[in-house]
Chains A and B, each alone.
Chain A
């Protein structure tokens, strides 16, 4: 360890440390401009120069390694003068007149702070020979713009885009005094594959690259916030930590916290996290409880005096199916160009999209505003009445993967303890339920075994099956790209040529739904080559022989015939996978949302187990979880067959334990597993009263037309949400909840990391935090629920969930904790299963699986296979993202992705309307030509109410987890003449 002296202080610096790092260890700051944490060091700005004894020249601290005995002076006269000179030169091209006031200047950014700190006086702009710098400006961009006169060419943005996000939109072009930052090669960020992640905004030291939203509000001035509150991004399962900047009870900006902190995102976010926060302040937010007109209280009892029959839940709106067949307006034109002045018309920055995506005014008509007292009284009395009259089997609750652990815990507690029903479920049913069933059968676990960080740090081969990570979990996607760049071998199994597939070393582009054949063949080949991990199989698994026999017939040639993937490629992928040495396996909806989803995951688990690619740092099993808290909602027992922490409802001892904590008679709680979401919303369902918190099943569930009709037949429906959603419009009572920014709570990300999000602002109007609503309701219904804060709820969770026993709010500050955390001094668990699986004998079990065809294969009448999924800019049913201006501007329209050759055959081009018909429904949507999809396959995102993909999907259910087959359905596509109204 070299010992050096910095400004007279002695420091022991680690081997290979730079002068900058050594100085920081000694608590001494050296100014930096081109240097930035985690970016490659370029040493081009020279502001960090320092004097080193015995060296004739000044040395750049960021790019010089220390050697033993160095004596360093960071503020020597020479160094300071050199720094001033650097600043003076940079100022020659910088609009700095506001800094010319004799030391009283207000610096507006990092660079100007140095100017003021070192007392450099800029020349007035008018007296200079050199003009201000230029560069591409992203004119008309809804989220990010450039003012390149502020650029000091530090190239942080270029490196952030290239080395952290691995996109490479930005670069330096031209030379000498004309050098400037360019966007792609023609100024168009879209063509340059920009993902609008805002990494460039984050690193720019001058604000040359800036955010549009705060700029509109604060002009040139930096965002002045009243306070900054640490929270967790409300979108995907990566669980990025974010800082909410608050002013006047509004979130005015979102940034990502200190990059060096050990958070899942390490300073990055994606476009949704950084720019998608304005839904919180959208004027559509519900501010008072709503009660359907027709409910009146007479003599202390609530009675329905409104219309009955079909009209009972009707309203002045078109059904989703009705809207689906309407012709859609064309896409608004997109601004392009390099400079603002190149734009023909300076289009307004503040194009207001709210009226387009907002809740239509007439949706409110069937409702009247009510007080909380009335609304909760009605909900409590109706739930109690139906429970009394029809029994526990008629009660059900849909919980929310968007709400916190505490809220999910409270809600299942209410339904299990007060109503004695296990009809408790949430959207995991349509997400990773098949992964959970397969993982439980094989390993008795329900979560990822490893961490996201290990992909970057330790993994040699990455195998991704059915996960479009760069769009659905962009921050994790970037980590995968970085791992690939540093040399990890990337294998992608996906029917679409998604970004990762394009980058992959091997892309296995199989026919949709044929994954079992593919994985079985890979295992077949691994066994044929003797590449299986025999020691692992012998010591840590059982029933291997059955799988060996089962995969025998799946030769790569046979798999080629089924999947369409060349046998040689299957062989190569298999060998790479098995050779590792550390292979991490990722999967998501591409496997789970199939009729054979459970089998697909099982086949993949067989592959993992046979090669022993689990339980080491770098060899992880990673189902990538979708929602910000789908893991947590499952952990909290929002599943029909388990209590919190996966304790089976059918075990009387466990029931006893929960009954004691919840203060009810064990006998009043059910030992029967409840119904699953997909089993509830059907004609023969026994459910009469339904409570929904933060879900929008009418858009997200398969075969909408039937689901919508079913919701209308309920006896009582209460919905707790931020907006009057497509589902909420059928409710009897709508309770206004709080967004992530308006309450404190904890969330679990895809790597089992429990993180805390703090309350930043007050909910709008009378809206209340969701946990408060449930506490109030529980008490009204007579279930003792004494909690005064989410923290108190966590204290109860710790008591009943062994894996959470060591979790306290205090310990969650910072990077959070990865459960299991069995005790208060346990540090959390970055990876699981190092030496045993959580089964009785500690061993994992192999389960042989056979391939079978998807339920619907294309035929003459329905010749295309339709796949559904998400886009980068939208989230699920669009409730949040379509109310976020920047995001919605990027993807304002429903589309269908069609292969160029199919489009030609159909005679359609980009933007043309087409009609897509399946056996269940029809939608009209616009064409997007893309070779991401294979021939005869189309992709329809499910975010858009006006062309809802789930009108077409099939409600057939997977037998183990009751998953719907959302990824494959046969459709027909027809051109719609533009004039033709439907």
Chain B
């Protein structure tokens, strides 16, 4: 067996209050494994994305294997496996929104953030723009999620104004 891998300068996510919070969540379920989704969510909130080291950390706390955690992380599209901008912008492009100009909204976000490409992070590190399926607000097309904020009736024209609020 080779040496235990050195976790080079990795700062654990679950210390202090965050660890307490996770423990409280774990206490709600009959098995530790059940707390996996919230634990990953907490990692993402703290770090913006879920690194391989973080997967190992979560696996250790929950008595799972790192491979299992990775399986879950990669199954759900809402967990990020790469760093994303400070503001994560999700634009709905499913049919109703699409009919109401979602493609233009998307293009505007890409242009004004400087991201250029879907999924890429802007050079200033502030934004990442992605396309998502129906956000459940079809009556208020186009629907956009920025971080945890839900924006309705977004049009391409409103985009620069909106971005001013997310610096």
> Taking beta carbons and an 8 Å cutoff, which residues of A are in contact with B?
162, 167-175, 182-186, 188, 190-192, 334, 471, 871-873, 890-891, 910, 928-931
Contact = CB atoms under 8 A, between A and B. Distances in A.
Interface string B22-66: 000000000000000000000000000000100110010000111
A901 to B, nearest CB: 14
Contact of A910 (B6, B55, B64, B65): B6
B75 A174 contact: yes
Interface of B is mostly: helix
Interface in B63-105: 64-71, 73-75
B71 A182 contact: yes
Given A173-B74, A175-B74, A184 B67 contact: yes
Contact of B1 (A170, A183, A872): A872
B3 A169 contact: no
B9 interface: no
A185 B64 CA distance: 12
A173 B2 CA distance: 26
A171 B65 contact: yes
A192 B5 CA distance: 10
Identify the 10 closest CB pairs spanning chains A and B, nearest first: A168-B65, A171-B67, A185-B66, A185-B70, A173-B74, A171-B71, A173-B71, A185-B55, A174-B74, A186-B52
B31 to A, nearest CB: 13
A192 B65 contact: yes
A175 B6 CA distance: 30
A872 B74 CA distance: 33
Chain A contact residues: over half helix, strand or loop, or mixed? loop
Nearest to A909: B6
A177 B150 CA distance: 31
A191 B1 CA distance: 10
In this complex, the member of B3, B6, B59 whose beta carbon has the largest number of chain A beta carbons within 10 angstroms is B3
Contacts of A172: 71
Contacts of B2: 190, 334, 890, 928
Nearest to B55: A185
Contact of A185 (B1, B3, B6, B67): B67
15 contacts: A162-B65, A167-B65, A172-B71, A173-B73, A174-B74, A174-B75, A175-B75, A184-B65, A185-B70, A186-B52, A191-B5, A871-B1, A910-B3, A910-B6, A930-B3
Nearest to A195: B1
Nearest to B52: A186
B67 A182 contact: yes
A929 B3 contact: yes
Given A171-B68, A185-B56, A190-B2, 13 more contacts: A167-B65, A168-B65, A169-B65, A171-B70, A173-B70, A175-B74, A184-B66, A185-B69, A186-B66, A191-B66, A192-B65, A910-B3, A930-B3
B67 A168 contact: yes
B81 to A, nearest CB: 10
Contacts of B66: 184-186, 191-192
Interface string B1-22: 1111110000000000000000
Given A173-B75, A174-B74, A183 B5 contact: no
Interface of B: 1-6, 52, 55-56, 59, 64-71, 73-75
Nearest to B68: A171
B62 to A, nearest CB: 12
Contact of A471 (B1, B6, B70): B1
A191 B65 CA distance: 11
Nearest to A162: B65
A622 B164 CA distance: 73
- Indicate the member of A191, A334, A890 with the most B CB atoms within 10 Å: A191
A182 B70 contact: yes
B107 to A, nearest CB: 27
B68 to A, nearest CB: 5
Nearest to B64: A168
Contacts of A872: 1
B67 A169 contact: yes
B26 to A, nearest CB: 18
A890 B2 CA distance: 8
Nearest to B2: A190
Contacts of B1: 471, 871-873, 891
A434 B55 CA distance: 46
A394 to B, nearest CB: 45
Contacts of B52: 185-186
Contacts of A190: 2, 5
B6 A170 contact: no
Nearest to A181: B67
A506 B38 CA distance: 29
A171 B65 CA distance: 9
Nearest to A334: B2
A871 B2 CA distance: 10
Contacts of A891: 1
Contacts of A183: 67
B16 to A, nearest CB: 23
Contacts of B69: 185
Contacts of A184: 65-67, 70
A71 B17 CA distance: 61
Nearest to A872: B1
Contact of B67 (A170, A910, A928): A170
Given A168-B68, A169-B67, A931 B4 contact: yes
A912 to B, nearest CB: 12
Contacts of A174: 74-75
Nearest to B54: A185
Contacts of A168: 64-65, 67-68
Contacts of B4: 929-931
B83 to A, nearest CB: 16
Contacts of B56: 185, 191
Nearest to B66: A185
Max chain A Cβ within 10 angstroms of own Cβ: one of B56, B64, B68: B68
A148 to B, nearest CB: 14
A186 B73 CA distance: 13
A167 B2 CA distance: 16
B50 to A, nearest CB: 10
Contacts of B55: 185
Contacts of B73: 173
Nearest to B59: A185
A186 B52 CA distance: 7
A929 B73 CA distance: 31
Nearest to B76: A175
Contacts of B65: 162, 167-169, 171, 184, 192
A556 B62 CA distance: 32
B105 to A, nearest CB: 27
Contacts of B59: 185
Contacts of B6: 910
A331 to B, nearest CB: 9
A175 B70 CA distance: 12
A182 B70 CA distance: 9
Contacts of B64: 168
A182 B1 CA distance: 20
A823 B125 CA distance: 81
Contacts of A191: 5, 56, 66
A928 B71 contact: no
A175 B71 CA distance: 9
B133 to A, nearest CB: 14
A634 B56 CA distance: 47
Nearest to B58: A185
B67 A192 contact: yes
A183 B5 CA distance: 15
B98 to A, nearest CB: 22
B12 to A, nearest CB: 16
A890 B3 CA distance: 12
Interface centre among B52, B55, B66 (most CB of A within 10 A): B66
Nearest to A470: B1
A110 to B, nearest CB: 24
Contacts of A931: 4
Contacts of A186: 52, 66
Contacts of B5: 188, 190-191
